[in-house]
């Protein structure tokens, strides 16, 4: 369940933003006029630095979402650049078990659980010791009663999880008990029947041969019986795999052959209890239950609502928590340490772009309808359909499409539209007409047609040739 949430969060992009109006969403720092351009650039560089060695910024968000969903807290840890080693700076998310203090109160990363609590972990011998200049910041979901304690939806389900584990272990022990073949009771006086053999311990009257005692005959019978049982396991092509073992003895002893099983029986009540416990766990998780079960029992009409609920009720609050934590713990202290005023820095925040995950399934249809009604722009339509700005047609292609679609247009309308959409195309056409024309249009009139500013005069104004009255009125 939480892997699903973390995978969705990893597709969200972080960027530096400015709170111009508290009632509206923050705007990108580079597009804001209320802060200095240097501060906006520094904030963007600080966000770019959040690059994890385990998958970049996407990996950092994924690890943060997992830790906040499970335990409710984690640490943002910086590994400074180690000169001479070729290792670049890295910002990673570490769990509360992974980040420890050694005997000298220095931070140590414990990468494996088998050394936790040992003397080597306390001394940092098998851990990764952080330098004194490394940044360590705690990120946590505050408990509603004690604000410095961490909280998560899974913490309230630990008792149910323990019960489910106990039930699963009971089922496992029951299944393993069935691996035992039990015990087989055989009365004395039985033997393996075979073709006449002078060495067979019984004669025709079923009496023991004089040369073999009863104990020896019983031991030999047990050996032959065990061999008949185990031979098919070792060799599937043996005759014992298809031919039953024939046992001979007194008729009254046949009813006394018994098998005792040591297996434990499955209790249907325990299975029902396990289902109820699992149902309560799924209902208590901070993820829609139908998402966890894979939409197995959900109709398509309800699947759209589940997708919307997953983002609005679970992904967006988690991203708000991560963005606020990174703002308070990392971004603003880093900008203040760089020399910017605290009053200006207080406007800066970490914000996120959920366009890759928050698009509803019917948003493309909404964009089509809004575009037909001239309510949204080309850029909005492309974004709703998942296209980038680079996918837009260039002016030349747009002019050609327009001409092909409309068929025939009036010369004036064609000239005006091509001039507005693709002015370079119109200029090339006019230049070609000027070359072939017997009476080319004067340059001044050509500039008026192109709505361009006349070039600066190369001679003093008093020596400039006076324009004709009609042309002067047009200018």
Phi/psi region, residue 371 (left: phi>0; alpha: psi -120 to 50; beta: rest), is alpha
**Average pLDDT for 205-223:** 64
The two structure tokens encoding residue 9: 């969060």
**pLDDT value of position 438:** 61
What SS3 class is residue 41? helix
As given in the structure block, the two tokens for residue 63 are 């690890």
* Residue 197: pLDDT over 70: no
Say how far apart CA 288 and CA 5 lie, in whole Å. Answer: 10
Q: What is the pLDDT of residue 116?
A: 60
Start-to-end CA distance of the chain, whole Å, equals: 71
Residue 195 has pLDDT above 60, yes or no: no
In the chain, % of residues over pLDDT 90: 30
Number of residues in the chain: 475
pLDDT at 394 over 60: yes
Structural tokens at position 68:
């906040």
Secondary structure (3-state) at 59: helix
Looking at residue 156, the DSSP 8-state letter turns out to be G
Do residues 109 and 98 make contact, with C-beta atoms less than 8 angstroms apart?
yes
* Least confident segment among 139-143, 314-318, 360-364, 385-389: 360-364
Q: Residue 461: its pLDDT value, please?
A: 47
Better-scored residue on pLDDT, 371 or 158: 158
Q: Is the pLDDT of residue 468 over 60?
A: no
Q: What is the Cα–Cα distance from 326 to 15, expressed in whole angstroms? A: 11
- Global pTM reads 0.63
Going by DSSP bridges, is the β-strand pair 90-94/73-79 parallel, antiparallel, or unpaired? antiparallel
Contact 439, 433 (CB under 8 A): no
Contact 260, 183 (CB under 8 A): yes
Mean pLDDT across 18-35? 85
* Paired tokens of 418: 């091509």
pLDDT category, 205, cuts 50, 70, 90? very low
Q: Check whether 217 has a pLDDT greater than 80.
A: no
Q: Report how far residue 12's alpha carbon sits from residue 321's, in angstroms, rounded to the nearest whole number.
A: 14
**Cα–Cα distance measured from residue 379 to residue 12, given in angstroms and rounded to the nearest whole number:** 20
Provide the total of helices (H) and of strands (E) in the chain, helices listed first. 19, 13
With a cut of 70, say whether residue 436 has pLDDT above it. Answer: no
Q: What is the pLDDT of residues 261-318, one digit of tens each?
A: 777 788 889 999 999 999 999 999 888 887 777 755 555 555 444 577 778 888 899 9
Residues facing 15 on adjacent strands: 351
Arithmetic mean of pLDDT over the chain? 79
**What value does the mean pLDDT take over residues 200-220?**
58
pLDDT at 463 over 80: no
**What is the spatial order of strands in the sheet that 107-109 belongs to?**
99-101, 107-109, 128-129
Candidates 419, 305, 281, 428; CA nearest to 360 is 305
Q: What is the pLDDT of residue 72?
A: 95
pLDDT (0 to 100) of residue 297: 57
* Residue 350, SS3 per DSSP: strand
Tokens coding 330: 């990392």
Residues 141, 72 contacting (CB under 8 angstroms): yes
Q: Which of 71, 131, 122, 75 is nearest to 98 (CA)?
A: 75
Report pLDDT digits (tens) over 121-155.
Answer: 444 557 788 988 899 999 999 999 999 999 999 99
What lies within 8 Å, CB to CB, of 142 at 6+ separation is 148, 149, 150, 151
Interval 88-102: pLDDT, tens: 889 999 999 999 888
| CA Rg value for the chain | 42
Q: Which residue has better confidence, 210 or 86? A: 86
């Amino acid at each position: 369940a939480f892997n699903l949430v973390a995978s969705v969060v990893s597709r969200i992009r972080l960027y530096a933003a400015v709170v111009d109006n508290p009632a509206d969403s923050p705007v990108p720092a580079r597009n804001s006029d209320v802060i200095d351009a240097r501060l906006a650039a520094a904030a963007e560089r600080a966000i770019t630095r959040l690059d994890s060695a385990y998958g970049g910024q996407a990996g950092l968000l994924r690890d943060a979402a997992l830790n906040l969903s499970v335990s409710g807290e984690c640490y943002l840890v910086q590994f400074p650049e180690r000169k001479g080693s070729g290792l670049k700076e890295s910002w990673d998310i570490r769990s509360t078990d992974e980040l420890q203090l050694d005997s000298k109160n220095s931070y140590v990363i414990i990468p494996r659980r088998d050394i936790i609590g040992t003397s080597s972990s306390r001394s940092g011998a098998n851990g990764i010791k952080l330098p004194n200049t490394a940044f360590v910041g705690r990120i946590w979901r505050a408990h509603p009663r004690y604000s410095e304690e961490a909280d998560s939806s899974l913490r309230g389900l630990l008792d149910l999880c323990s019960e489910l584990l106990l039930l699963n272990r009971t089922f496992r022990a029951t299944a393993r008990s069935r691996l035992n073949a039990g015990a087989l009771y055989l009365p004395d006086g039985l033997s393996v029947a075979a073709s006449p053999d002078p060495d067979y311990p019984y004669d025709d009257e079923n009496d023991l041969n004089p040369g073999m005692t009863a104990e020896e005959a019983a031991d030999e019978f047990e050996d032959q019986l065990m061999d008949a049982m185990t031979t098919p396991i070792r060799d599937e092509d043996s005759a014992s795999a298809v031919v039953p073992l024939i046992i001979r003895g007194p008729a009254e002893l046949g009813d006394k052959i018994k098998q005792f099983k040591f297996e434990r029986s499955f209790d249907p009540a325990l299975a029902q209890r396990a289902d109820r416990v699992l149902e309560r766990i799924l209902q208590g998780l901070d993820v829609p239950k139908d998402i966890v079960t894979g939409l197995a029992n959900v109709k398509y009409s309800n699947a759209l609502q589940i997708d919307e609920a997953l983002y609005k009720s679970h992904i967006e609050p988690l991203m708000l928590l991560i963005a606020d934590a990174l703002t308070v713990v990392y971004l603003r202290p880093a900008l203040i340490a760089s020399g910017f005023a605290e009053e200006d820095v207080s406007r800066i925040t970490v914000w996120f772009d959920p366009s890759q995950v928050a698009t509803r399934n019917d948003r493309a249809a909404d964009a089509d309808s809004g575009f037909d009604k001239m309510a949204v722009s080309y850029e909005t339509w492309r974004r709703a359909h998942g296209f980038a700005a680079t996918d837009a047609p260039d002016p030349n292609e747009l002019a050609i499409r327009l001409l092909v679609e409309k068929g025939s247009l009036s010369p004036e309308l064609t000239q005006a539209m091509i001039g507005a959409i693709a002015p370079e195309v119109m200029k090339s056409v006019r230049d070609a007409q000027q070359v072939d024309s017997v009476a080319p249009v004067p340059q001044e009139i050509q500039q008026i047609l192109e709505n361009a500013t006349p070039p600066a005069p190369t001679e003093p104004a008093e020596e400039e040739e006076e324009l004709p009255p009609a042309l002067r009125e047009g200018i």
